[in-house]
Structure 1
Amino acid sequence: MVDAKQVRFIVGIIGNVISFFLFFSPMPTFWRIFKNKSVEEFQPWPYVATMMNCMLWVFYGLPVVHKDSILVTTINAVGMGFEAFYISVFLIYCGGKKNFRRNIGLYLVAEVIAVAGIVLITLFAIQNEFAKQTFVGVICDVFNIAMYGAPSLVIKKVIRTRSVEYMPFLLSFVSFVNAGIWTAYSLIYKLDLYVLISNGLGTALCASQLIVYGLYRNATPRDEDKTKPSEIEIPATA
C-alpha cells in the first residue's frame, strides 16, 4: 500500500519534471540569440534573479535546513545549470553593450556573497531547526513570490489594450500547474509551510493571469504603440 510519504515523493518527482520544462522554456529565445549572434533587446536580469532564487532553494532543501525536501534541492540545482547557461549566452553575445558584462558580473558576485552570508548565518548563528527553516524559508518565499508575480505586472497593459499579446498563455498555464503541484507537495506527509506559502500564492497569481487571458483573448484590441516589454521568466522552483 502506498503511504503518504511515497505519495509526496511521487508528487515531488512530477513537480521536478514540470519545473524542468519550465526552466527549459526560454531555450527558443537563446537559440534566436545564438543564430543572430546578438542579444538584441533581450535582458539578462530575469535569469540573474532566477539564479539567486535557485541557489536559495537548493540550500533550503538540504537536510541541514529542512529534512525530507531533497527534491526541492534537485530541481533547483538543475535550474542553476540552466540559468548559468542562459547568462553565459548573454555574456558571449552582448557585443558592444556598454558595461553589460561588468554589470552582470557584479550582480552575480553580489548574489554569491549574499547567499554565502545566509548559509553562514544559518549554519553557525542559528541552532534551532525551526528557526533555520524560518530564516531561510522567509527569504526564499520573498524571491519566489516576486518571480511568480512578475508576469502579473502585464495585466494592467492587457486590460488597457484589450490584447493578450503580452501575456503568453502557455507560460501562465504551465506556471499555474507548476505552482499547484508544489503546493500539493507541501501539504502531503509533512507540512512544508514555506513551500506552501510561495507556491500557494503563486497558484493564485497564475490563476489571475489565466482569468484575464480568458476574458480578453477574443477582445478587439485598442490601437496602441506596440513596443514589446522585456521578456519575463518565472522560475520553476519548489
Structure 2
Amino acid sequence: MATAEEFGAFFGYAGMVMTFVYFLSPLPTCINVHKSKDVQEFSVFPPLSCEVFFLYSQLMFARFFQVQQYAVGVVNCSLWVYWAIVTMQISSDNLTPNLLINGIGLFQFVAYVSIFMVYAKSRTREFLRLIMALLLFEVILILSFEGIVPRFGDGKLKSRVSGLVTDVLNILLYGSPLIVMRKVIRTKSVKYMPLPMSVLTLVICILWSTQAIFISNMTVLVPNAVGTLLGVAQLILYARRAPSLAQIAQDGHDATFNQEPPSEQQHNYMRTADPPAAAKTRTRVPRCSVPLSDARVSAVLLHLRSSKSCHWAMDQTL
C-alpha cells in the first residue's frame, strides 16, 4: 500500500504538469506582440495579479499585454524557489515538484518579460522603473531572510518566515480574480471569466492542496486552499450568470425580427435602384439560425416584395 509521502509525490507531480500548462497561457499574447514587433495598445500597468501555483491571472487572455503580471511572476517564483531550497535542507518534505515548477515558471516569466523589453520602444524607461522596484523588493526580502532572521533562530525559523511572507504575497495577489468576479456581477456577463481557465485553476488548486495535506505542509496548503475556495466561488458565479441555450436562441430571435421597418426614404431609394447596377456587387443574404414559423416566413417574404429591387434580388438569390 502506498504511503502518504508517495501520494504526496503523485499529486505534487500532477500539479506540476497542470501548472506548467497554465503557465503557457500568455504565449498567444506574446506571439502576437512578436509578430507585430510592437506592444501597441498593450498596457504596462494593468490590475495586479500573478500567483505561483495557481490563479496568477484570469486576465491572461485579455487584450492587454499585462507585463506587470510577468514581472511580479519573476519575483513570486523566485521566493518560492528560495523557500523550497531552504525547507528541503532542514526537513524531509518532498518539495521537488514545487521547486521544479517554480524554477520553470521563473524561466518562463523572464522570457515573457524579455519579449516586452524588446518591443516596448518608447515605454522602456517606464518598464525599467517597474523592474527595478520589484527587484529591489526581492533583494531586501532575501537579505532579510539570510541576514536578520538567522540571528533569532535556526533554519526552521528562516523557512517559516520566508514561507509566511510568500503566502501573504500570494493571498494579496488575489486582487485580479476578485476584480474579475466583481465585473461579472456588475455587468451580468461571463465573457470576462472564461470557463476553461476557471476549471483549470480549480483543478490546480485541488492538486496542490492535496499534496500539502499528504506531506503536512501548511505553507503550500494555505494559499492553495484559499485558491480552491475562490475557484469554487467562480464556478458558482459562472453557473448563475452564464446564459442558457434558450436565452441565446431568444436573443438571436429578437435581434433578427425586432427591427424597425424601413423608412419611406429607404423605400423610395429601393424603388428607384437599378437592378442591373446592383447586380455588379453581389449582396450576401444573412441567414437566420432561429426556426421560423410559416406566419413569420410569409411576413418576411411580403416585406421583401414591397419594393422592386428587393423583389429582383430575391429572385436572384432564392
TM-score by shorter chain over 0.5: yes
**Counterpart in the other structure of 2:194:** 168
**Stretch deviating more after TM superposition (47-56 or 106-115):** 106-115
Indicate whether 1:202 and 2:202 are aligned. no
**Counterpart in the other structure of 1:50:** 73
Residue identity matched to 2:36:
N
Contact conserved, 1:179 with 1:199, CA < 8 A, in 2? yes
Task: Give the Å deviation of 1:123.
Answer: 7.0
Larger radius of gyration between Structure 1 and Structure 2:
2
Q: Of 139, 158, 162, which aligns to 1:113? A: 139
3-state SS, counterpart of residue 97 of structure 1? helix
**Whole-angstrom CA distance in 2 between matches of 1:144 and 1:103:** 22
Length, aligned pairs only: 220
Identity %: 29
> For each residue in 1:99-155, what CA deviation from the matched residue of structure 2 results, as whole angstroms up to 9, or x when unmatched?
233223313431441343244147743533442232011111112223345212111
Residue identity matched to 1:17:
V
**Stretch deviating more after TM superposition (12-21 or 121-130):** 121-130
The root-mean-square deviation of aligned C-alpha atoms, in Å, is 2.2
**Whole-angstrom CA distance in 1 between matches of 2:164 and 2:239:** 33
> For each residue in 1:154-201, what CA deviation from the matched residue of structure 2 results, as whole angstroms up to 9, or x when unmatched?
11111111111111222222111111110000000x310111111000
**Stretch deviating more after TM superposition (147-156 or 123-132):** 123-132
**Counterpart in the other structure of 1:215:** 240
**Counterpart in the other structure of 1:138:** 164
1:35-184 alignment runs, 5 A limit:
35-40=35-40, 41=42, 42-62=65-85, 63-64=88-89, 67-68=92-93, 69-97=95-123, 99-121=125-147, 124-184=150-210
1:1-20 alignment runs, 5 A limit:
1-20=1-20
Larger RCO (CA within 8 A; separation ≥ 6):
1
**Stretch deviating more after TM superposition (19-28 or 162-171):** 162-171
**Counterpart in the other structure of 2:24:** 24
**Whole-angstrom CA distance in 2 between matches of 1:98 and 1:70:** 36
Contact conserved, 1:60 with 1:66, CA < 8 A, in 2? no
**Whole-angstrom CA distance in 1 between matches of 2:239 and 2:76:** 30
1:186-197 alignment runs, 5 A limit:
186-188=212-214, 190-197=215-222
Q: Tell me, which stretches of 5 or more residues in structure 2 are unaligned?
A: 43-64, 249-318
Q: Please report the TM-score for the alignment, with normalisation by the length of structure 2.
A: 0.64
Contact conserved, 1:48 with 1:107, CA < 8 A, in 2? no
**Whole-angstrom CA distance in 2 between matches of 1:119 and 1:78:** 23
Q: Tell me, which stretches of 5 or more residues in structure 1 are unaligned?
A: 222-238
3-state SS, counterpart of residue 153 of structure 2? coil
**Whole-angstrom CA distance in 1 between matches of 2:110 and 2:195:** 26
Change in CA separation of 1:65 and 1:19 when aligned onto 2, cut-off 3 Å:
farther
**Whole-angstrom CA distance in 2 between matches of 1:194 and 1:152:** 22
Residue identity matched to 1:184:
T
**Stretch deviating more after TM superposition (60-69 or 169-178):** 60-69
Contact conserved, 2:149 with 2:157, CA < 8 A, in 1? no
**Whole-angstrom CA distance in 1 between matches of 2:152 and 2:22:** 34
